[in-house]
Structure 1
């Protein structure tokens, strides 16, 4: 039998909405702040977590502003300090950063085709990451958090692309398959790590929200 006392339960939260999310513009490592809707979503997340009555041992977040602002709303209601980890950043989209999905497809059709095909070794020009390299850094961050907090529950505030990787890590779905699960802004997503194995507990809980944008334009 599994020793559940060694389990680490992680609640992952995608940052609140930004103006670029609303425009379906690829942000990547560009440091875009939350818009008014996103700030309200961050407060809604904080209230929802407070209502759980569950103690969290730590709060980790990406070092990009949109994640830090979302985490800050949580720290105001919980006795936690946000621990920034650059490995929880969004994927670096190289020359796609700042473009809408439509602009990226129009300006760089072959690169966009490879992006949409989820080729694991395809890296964007201009310092962009491959899906494989991105996945490796997210895996490393999540494993470190889980190992450090065995027997505890923790919060992680991060990005849509990171959540795509985490869902696949916990479900065993390959990187290359099309995404068939939602990733709304400010929703709650739960995974568990026990004795080296990951398990998906719950996904895309947005009961505290009045509707939220998905990471992808047609999702």
Structure 2
């Protein structure tokens, strides 16, 4: 049985611009660094048996803040990457809608097998991405069989995992938030995932951030 602390990376400038990142390697902005430090501060009293991260810089930066002061190395797992969006990557949502209206509508409509236009890389369908994301997170729990692990990933991965754990199909509207640097707790019992708590951002409230700044 494993408790999984599933964490989205801290804020990037592209998050604030609503620019799609996908596999592009975008660093945290100043606020994202601050969020990551607050996250590490909030978790320092919790025992973690391992810390895993996507190989993209924004996730690795966030994971390193959790690892600070611990005798743990961040273990890189490329399967935790965000979805590959092909030609959508690097574009703002409004620009995607203007250039690729049909594909944009299919993406926003969560069509499982919709094919997005290729860019530098071939885009993943939602079905392909969801299978990879769930397989990566569950695979870590199965392979390592540790009591509590932190997994730092991306918004799309968090949505896949939450839907899987709640049995919420992709046709259902999303009724949960996916916040930068949020703490989301799940339990893996050897067969299924279950959400214990979702969307904890208490450590990102102003007084908590101020305490980190004073440190």
TM-score using structure 1 length: 0.90
Query: Which position in structure 1 is the counterpart of 2:22?
Result: 28
* Structure 2 gap segments, 5+ residues each: 207-215
The C-alpha deviation readout for 1:146-190, integer Å capped at 9, x for no partner, is 113435100000000000001011111012322121000001001
Q: In structure 2, how many angstroms separate the alpha carbons of the residues matched to 1:174 and 1:58?
A: 30
After superposition, where does 1:18-167 map in structure 2 within 5 Å?
18-50=12-44, 53-126=45-118, 127-150=122-145, 152-167=147-162
Q: In structure 2, how many angstroms separate the alpha carbons of the residues matched to 1:88 and 1:110?
A: 28
Runs of 4+ in 1 over 4 A off after TM superposition: none
- Contact 2:48 / 2:150 at 8 angstroms: preserved in 1? yes
Query: Which position in structure 2 is the counterpart of 1:9?
Result: 3
Q: In structure 1, how many angstroms separate the alpha carbons of the residues matched to 2:142 and 2:18?
A: 35
CA RMSD of aligned residues (A): 1.2
Q: In structure 2, how many angstroms separate the alpha carbons of the residues matched to 1:171 and 1:131?
A: 18
When structure 1 is superposed on structure 2, of 72-81 and 115-124 the one drifting more is: 72-81
Deviation, structure 1 residue 137: 0.7
TM-score using structure 2 length: 0.91
The C-alpha deviation readout for 1:9-48, integer Å capped at 9, x for no partner, is 0001100000100101000000000000000000000000
Query: Which position in structure 2 is the counterpart of 1:189?
Result: 184
Query: Which position in structure 2 is the counterpart of 1:217?
Result: none
The C-alpha deviation readout for 1:102-157, integer Å capped at 9, x for no partner, is 11112111111100110011131211110100011112111211113435100000
Q: In structure 1, how many angstroms separate the alpha carbons of the residues matched to 2:200 and 2:89?
A: 28
Deviation, structure 1 residue 198: 1.2
* Structure 1 gap segments, 5+ residues each: 1-6, 212-219
Aligned residue-pair number? 203
Q: In structure 2, how many angstroms separate the alpha carbons of the residues matched to 1:117 and 1:111?
A: 10
Query: Which position in structure 1 is the counterpart of 2:213?
Result: none
